[in-house]
Structure 1
Amino acid sequence: MSDATTSETTPAASSAPYTLWQLVGYMLGLGTWGFGGPVALVGYMYRDLVEKRRWITEGDYKEGMAIAQLMPGPLAAQLAIYLGFVHYRVLGATLVGLAFVLPSFLMVVAIGMAYVSYGGIGWMQSVFYGVGAAVIGIIAMSAWKLTSKNIGRDKLLWAIFAVSAIVTIVTQSEEIWLFIGAGVLVWLWRVPPAWLQRGGRGGAQAVAAPLLAMFALEAVDPAKLAKIATYFAYAGSFVFGSGLAIVPFLYSGVVKEYAWLNDRQFVDAVAVAMITPGPVVITTGFIGFLVQGFWGAVVAAAATFLPCYLLTIIPAPYFKKHGKRPAIVAFVDGVTAAAIGAIAGAVVVIGQRSITDWITALIAIVTAAVLWRFKKIPEPVIVAASAAIGLVVHPLIAHV
C-alpha cells in the first residue's frame, strides 16, 4: 500500500468501531444472501450496521442515502460504496463495492451457463412465483422500519414522504427532481439563507415542492464488446433511482434498438436478477453473458457499476467534510424523506407485478407477519420456503 493510500485511509479508520475486513465480510455476506432488491438491501444495511452493530451512525447512513438518490446508478450498490468510504475512504469504497456485487455476479454467470446450455429455464417461473411474492413482504417490512425510524413526527417530512410515494406509484419510476426538490424545500424551511431570511419566515414557506470454455477469447467479438461497454456505461450513468428503474431503459436498448435479446430472454434476465440476492442491476451481467458469454458478462457488469462507483466516491469527501452543517443536514433530511417515500411506493409498484392471485397475496402477507413476529428468522430461510412453495404450486395452477 502506498503512503498516499495509507494517509487517505488512516485518520478516519482510527475511529472506526470495526475493521475494514469486517465490513467487507458483511457486504460479501449481504451480496450472497440479501434477497429483495434495492429496497430490502438498504433496509438490511440500516438494520445491521446502524441499529444492531452501530458501526455506522445515523448521519452517515442518511448522507449515503442522499448521494445514492441524487446520483445515477443502483441505489443499494451506491449506499454500500459510500458506507465503505465513511471510515476507510477510497480503499474501503472499492473493496466494499466489489464484495457486495461479486457474489450475485458469479450467480448470474452460473445461471447464464445453464440457461444457454439447456435452452431456457422453465422452472424459473415457478420459483419466481413464490419468491416474488415473499419479496413483497420483505420489502414492505424494510420500508416500514425505515419510515418509522427516519420520518418521526415531522409533518413536513411526512408530506414529502407521501408525495414521493404517490408519484412513484403513479409514474412507476423514481424522479430525481423530486429528491432534489425535497432537499431544497427542507433546507429553505429549516435553515433559510440570509437573502431569504430578509423576506421573513413567509419567504421560506412560499418556496414549497461450460466453465473453461466460457473464458475463451477466440469467440469474442471485440466490436460487440465495445458496443456492450458503451451502452451499459451509458445506462449506469443516466438512470436514476433503484435498480428497478433501469429495467425499462434496458428493454428499449437491449431488445428494441440492438435486438441482442428477444422478449422472452429479457423477461428471464429480469427474473434471474429478482431470484438471486444482491443488486437487481446485476441483470446486466446475465444479459452480457447471453450476448457475448463470460467476457460479455464482465464488460456489461463493470460498465454498469463503474459510473455509480465514481459518482459516489467523488462527492463523498464533500459530504464528509460539510455534512454536519445545518443547511446540509436539512437538505439530506428532505432527500431521505423523499427516498423513503419512493421506497414505500416501490412496494406497491412491484406488488402489482408479483401479486397475481390469492396464493401470492397470502405468501406476501404471511412473510410480512412472520418477519414482524419473529425478528430473528433470516430472510434466506423465508425465500427458500417461498421458492419451494412456488415449485409445487405454480405447475399445478398453470395447468388448471
Structure 2
Amino acid sequence: MSAGAPGPVPFGEALRFWLKLGFISFGGPAGQIAVMHRELVEQRRWISERRFLHALNYCMLLPGPEAQQLATYIGWLLHRTWGGIAAGALFVLPSLLLLIALSWAYLVYGQVGWVAGLLYGIKPAVAAIVVQAVWRIGGKVLRSPRRAPWLWAMAVGSFAAIAVFQLPFPLVVLSALVLGWLGGRFAPSQFLPAGAEAAAAVAPARAPPVALIDDHTPPPAHARFSRGRLARVLLVGALLWALPMAALLAWQGEQGVLGAMGLFFSKAALLTFGGAYAVLPYVYQGAVVQHGWLSGPQMIDGLALGETTPGPLIMVVAFVGFLGGWHTEVLGPEARFWGAALAAAVVTWFTFLPSFVFILAGGPLVESTHGQVHFTAPLTAITAAVVGVIASLGVFFLAHIARPLPGGPVDAAALVIAALAALALVRFKLGVIPVIAACGALGVLLKTSGWAA
C-alpha cells in the first residue's frame, strides 16, 4: 500500500459510520451523496474520488434510491457481502424507526406548533444541502469549460430538460449515456474520469492524499466477476422475495392487505428510475386511488415528513404502509400500532430488496470497468448530467420555500435561513447535523415569536 494511505477499516468502525450516516442523511439523494463524499473521500479517505464517482454512476443507472445503493456498494467493497448489507440496511433503519414514530404521532396528536416550527427551519437547510452538493460534485466532475465543454453542455442541458421542459429523468440519463458513448469514441479526452488530468500533472512530491481504495487499487477477490457468484446472488435474492411473499399470502390470503402491499411496492421498486419524485405519481395512484390505504392530503403530509427526516425520500412508502396498516387494522383493533408498524416494515422490505440484489450482483461487473475510457465515458457523462439534475432540484426547493403558496407572498425569513445554512456549509464547512439543528431551532423561534407565517 502506498505511503499515506489509511489502514484497513475494522468492521466495527464501518458499522458505527454507517449507523451515523443513517441518522445524518438529510437532504434527499443530493444531500446524502454530498455527506458521503465529504466523509468517505475527503475526510476518512476510504475510497478515492474516481472510484466513488464510478460507483455513483452505476447507481444512477439503477431503479431505486441511488444514495442507499452507493452506501451498499462501498460497504460491499470494504467488507464483502455482509459489509454491503450492513451499510445499506443501516442507511434505511433509522429512517424507518423514525417514520414509524412520526406516523403514529401524526395520527394521534395531529399538528403541534413546535413541530411545525421545526419543519419550517429544516426545509431551508435541506435546500442549502442541495446547493452544497452542486458545489462539491460539480466542482469535482466538470473541470473547466475550456477543457470539458461537452460535460458542461450536458450539465446545462440536463438542468434545462428537468427545470424548464420537465422531461422525465430516465430520458435525461439515457441521452447522457448515448452522448457519453459517442464522446468516448470520438473525443475521449473530454470524458476522462474526475481527477485524471490533475493526477497526471502533479509531481510525485505533491501527490494528492492516497485513499484506502485508490484509483489503481485492484478489485479485491470478492469483487471479481464470477458466474457462480452471480447465480448465487440472484437465487438468494429471489428466495428473499418469494418466501416472505408466500408467507403473507398463506397467512392472509390473496386479498390480504400485507400481501397486496408487498406486490404493489415490489413493482414500484422497479419503476423508481429518477428517484422518489419519479415514482410518487405511481404510488399515489395505487395507494390512494386504487387501494385507499390513505387519503390524498395524507400522502402530501407524508412527503413533507419524508423530506425532513434522514434516509432516502422513497422512505415515504413507510408512511404509506403505516397509515394503510392503521386504517385497515391488519392485526386487529387491539393491536393497531403493531399492525401499522408491521405494514411499514413489509413495505420497506419489498421496496429495498431489489437495490441490494442490483449492487451485489452487478458490482463485480462495474469494478472490472474502472479506468477503461470506453466504459467510463458514458458514466462520466451521466455524472455531468446529474450535476444539472441536482441543480434543478435545488431551484425547485428554493422556489418552494420562497413562495410556499402559489401566488402568495415571498417568505423572506425562509430564504434568509437557506442563505445562512448555505454559507455555513459551503464557506465555513460546518457539519450537516449542526446546521440542521441550528436551522430547526431558528424555525421554532421564528414560528413561536410570530416572525414567520
- 1:30–1:355: structure 2 CA closer, same or farther, 3 Å change rule? farther
Aligned twin of 2:83: 92
How far apart are 1:267 and its partner, in Å? 1.7
Is the aligned partner of 1:128 residue 2:119?
Answer: yes
CA contact (8 A) 1:60 1:83 kept: no
Counterparts in 2 of 1:18-33, with a 5 A limit? 18-33=9-24
CA contact (8 A) 1:237 1:308 kept: no
CA contact (8 A) 2:369 2:376 kept: no
CA contact (8 A) 1:37 1:274 kept: yes
Aligned twin of 2:164: 170
Aligned twin of 2:392: 345
CA contact (8 A) 2:103 2:319 kept: yes
How far apart are 1:372 and its partner, in Å? 2.5
Aligned twin of 1:9: none
Amino acid at match of 1:106: L
Deviations 1:356-384 (A, max 9, x none): 21111111111111222321x22222212
Is the aligned partner of 1:36 residue 2:27?
Answer: yes
Is the aligned partner of 1:112 residue 2:165?
Answer: no
CA contact (8 A) 1:173 1:245 kept: no
Counterparts in 2 of 1:281-360, with a 5 A limit? 281-292=314-325, 293-356=340-403, 357-360=411-414
Amino acid at match of 2:280: V
CA contact (8 A) 1:86 1:320 kept: no
How far apart are the structure 1 equivalents of 2:264 and 2:56?
26
Counterparts in 2 of 1:145-224, with a 5 A limit? 145-153=136-144, 154-170=148-164, 175-192=169-186, 223-224=256-257
How far apart are 1:393 and its partner, in Å? 2.5
Q: Percentage identity across aligned positions?
A: 31
How far apart are 1:46 and its partner, in Å? 1.0
CA contact (8 A) 1:69 1:176 kept: no
CA contact (8 A) 1:74 1:281 kept: yes
Deviations 1:57-97 (A, max 9, x none): 22321222112211111121111111122233322211110
Given candidates 50, 55, 60, the residue that maps to 1:64 is 55
Larger displacement relative to structure 2 (362-371 or 22-31): 22-31
Aligned twin of 1:394: 447
Aligned twin of 2:432: 379
- 1:256–1:125: structure 2 CA closer, same or farther, 3 Å change rule? farther
How far apart are the structure 2 equivalents of 1:351 and 1:232?
30
How far apart are the structure 1 equivalents of 2:98 and 2:40?
25
How far apart are 1:17 and its partner, in Å? 3.6
Aligned twin of 1:141: 132
How far apart are 1:338 and its partner, in Å? 1.1
Q: CA RMSD for the aligned pairs? A: 2.4
Aligned twin of 1:205: none
Deviations 1:219-251 (A, max 9, x none): x96610011111111111112123343333322
How far apart are the structure 2 equivalents of 1:59 and 1:149?
10
Unaligned runs of 5+ in 2: 1-5, 188-247, 326-339, 404-410
Q: TM-score, normalised by structure 2?
A: 0.74
CA contact (8 A) 2:40 2:47 kept: yes
How far apart are 1:172 and its partner, in Å? 5.0
After superposing on structure 2, the runs of 4+ consecutive aligned residues of structure 1 that deviate more than 6 Å are: none
Unaligned runs of 5+ in 1: 1-14, 194-216
How far apart are the structure 2 equivalents of 1:241 and 1:132?
21
SS of 1:315 mapped into structure 2: helix
